[in-house]
Structure 1
Amino acid sequence: MAAFSEKDIPEDWRLLLGDYFQTEDWGNLQANLQKEFALGANLVCPSPENFFKALKLTPLNRVRVVILGQDPYHSPGLAQGLAFSIPSHIPIHSRAFPSSLRNINKALSLEGFGTLANGDLHPWAEQGVLLLNTALSVRLGEAASHSHIGWKALVDRLITSLAIQKPNLIWMLWGGHAQSKLPLIELASDQLILQSSHPSGLGVHKTNQPFLYPGAAASCQHFTKANAWLLKHNLEPIRWVENAPPSVSQDNLFD
């Protein structure tokens, strides 16, 4: 039967989580996931060795930006353990390519970074962008199916501790679910919090803080604002698109 343990989480992140692994919450999460595995390990996305991939690819001391997703993609072959990221072999113009990534690509283009070659966001994670879902697993074909099995306690502890320990972080909160974590982040100071609609096709411009404006006339400028913040704090900007300059507009960046 599929299994995972606290040792699957890198040591730096385990230390950040403190005594979480001695709590009832951790035991409940393990028990609930074992029930899911018993229904069929192939029905759990991503596979257990990738539950904590975001933490493995982005060490604690390298985190500069946090992008919060809701849960992994529930369609076959998409979930990687990184929020919004999919395998590189999936063609951008195919029906399998998620609308959220299409709109992220549009925003990058509108901000002058160019467009992604594919939907694999490993390069972001390796530069210090923590691509964290708030539930780290899902049942195949059933969105949000693991949102109440115990991930919340782990991820909330991680978000709270990360914000308190790391000054000058950038948080991209896209959509209501990510924004529900705002009270945890606001426990700390010196954080740049960027909020907008979710980039999915259903909600990309449906709030007064749109991710994209109707007709793709403009973007929320989150990628540009993030790099401006990093430069302001003498940190290396993120190269959002390979071989593209870290373009930064100087006007109204932190309105």
Structure 2
Amino acid sequence: MFEPDALFELEHDPDGSATFAGLAELPLAELMAPDWAAALSGVEAELRGVLRFVAGEVAAGHPVLPAPSNVLRAFRQPLADVKVLIVGQDPYPTPGHAVGLSFSVGPHVRPLPRSLANIYRELEADLGIPPRVHGDLSAWAGQGVLLLNRVMTVRAGSAGSHRRKGWEDITTAAVEALAARRAPDGSPLPLAAVLWGKDAESVRRLLPSVPAVASAHPSPLSASRGFFGSRPFSRVNALLHGQGAADVIWELPPAP
């Protein structure tokens, strides 16, 4: 089992000196798990291009989130271990919030982003699990839940600012790689998708044979239009059961 603490270790950037320009020059195998590096080799040039774009943003004086050491964090979880895909839009634009996993924040962020608070509200309604005071979702990631933003960087304070800059090519390739995985007998590996909102819904065509739970986004602007009451957590576990896979334990530790 993939260990949550292994998802991102500070030895990747022990002194906080990583830069987006530096990431653009590193081998893929130093940026992500080996099987992800192999799966994304076909879009390596595009990844380096978007990292150079982000480096240019920083050089022009625009703070970018998340930190360079976290931007590809989702891909440090091995591709082979993924059994649930949760697609987000782009990182939280509030400084200190984005950590490289969709919807997750650092363990000491208070108050929680409202989208995450709504996710916790639905989790309690669905499975009776009380909300946590922290927003660290790495325990989900450690069980094979890929928390993937469709766009993986953002200008601080400007939601959606890095759309159509190249990240969509990378995340399209990632979703296609997930859908293409096969067991030794040729059967698809267990996978369920959670698609919240229009950005997430855009990947459905990439998952033709993957069962999905789709609803409105948990944002305060849309949660009341179909997210609340959608019971995504119990439905995902039912989809995993149907494929012979173990449940995700959605209850997070009381303290991260």
Question: Considering the TM-score relative to the shorter chain, is it more than 0.5?
Answer: yes
What per-residue deviation string (whole Å, max 9, x for no partner) do you get for residues 58-89 of structure 1? 21111010000010000010000000001121
Is the aligned partner of 1:194 residue 2:217? no
Q: Which residue of 1 aligns with 2:87?
A: 68
Report the residue type matching 1:26 in the other structure.
L
Contact 2:127 2:233 in 1 (8 A): no
SS for the counterpart of 2:233 is: helix
Give distance in 1, aligned partners of 2:137 and 2:61: 28
- Structure 2 residue aligned with 1:39, among 60, 78, 100? 60
Give distance in 2, aligned partners of 1:225 and 1:138: 31
Give distance in 2, aligned partners of 1:243 and 1:132: 21
Is the aligned partner of 1:90 residue 2:90? no
Please, what TM-score do these two structures have when normalized by structure 1? 0.82
What per-residue deviation string (whole Å, max 9, x for no partner) do you get for residues 212-240 of structure 1? 1xxxxxx2011001111222323221111
What per-residue deviation string (whole Å, max 9, x for no partner) do you get for residues 151-200 of structure 1? 111111111121122533110000011101111122xx2x1111100001
Give distance in 2, aligned partners of 1:230 and 1:27: 35
Aligned in 2, Cα 1:201/1:15: closer, same or farther, shift over 3 Å? same
Report the residue type matching 2:162 in the other structure.
H
Structure 1: gaps (5+ residues): 213-218, 245-255
SS for the counterpart of 1:68 is: strand
What per-residue deviation string (whole Å, max 9, x for no partner) do you get for residues 103-155 of structure 1? 11111111124124221101000010000001111111111111122111111
Q: Which residue of 1 aligns with 2:248?
A: 238
SS for the counterpart of 1:205 is: helix
Please, what TM-score do these two structures have when normalized by structure 2? 0.82
Q: Which residue of 1 aligns with 2:50?
A: 29
Give distance in 2, aligned partners of 1:133 and 1:139: 15
Is the aligned partner of 1:154 residue 2:165? no
Give distance in 1, aligned partners of 2:141 and 2:167: 21
Report the residue type matching 2:239 in the other structure.
W
SS for the counterpart of 2:195 is: strand
Aligned in 2, Cα 1:27/1:235: closer, same or farther, shift over 3 Å? closer
Is the aligned partner of 1:17 residue 2:40? yes
Contact 1:16 1:162 in 2 (8 A): no
Give distance in 2, aligned partners of 1:100 and 1:227: 22
Matches within 5 A, 1:48-197: 48-56=68-76, 58-91=77-110, 94=111, 97-117=112-132, 118-165=134-181, 167=188, 168-186=190-208, 189=209, 191-197=210-216
Contact 1:66 1:131 in 2 (8 A): yes
SS for the counterpart of 1:124 is: helix
State the identity %.
34
Is the aligned partner of 1:223 residue 2:233? yes
Report the residue type matching 1:104 in the other structure.
I
Contact 2:33 2:79 in 1 (8 A): no
- Runs of 4 or more consecutive aligned structure 1 residues displaced over 4 Å after TM superposition: none
Tell which deviates more after alignment, 65-74 or 151-160.
Answer: 151-160
Give distance in 2, aligned partners of 1:174 and 1:27: 28
Report the residue type matching 1:31 in the other structure.
R
Give distance in 1, aligned partners of 2:241 and 2:152: 31
Q: Which residue of 2 aligns with 1:216?
A: none
Q: CA deviation at 1:27?
A: 4.3
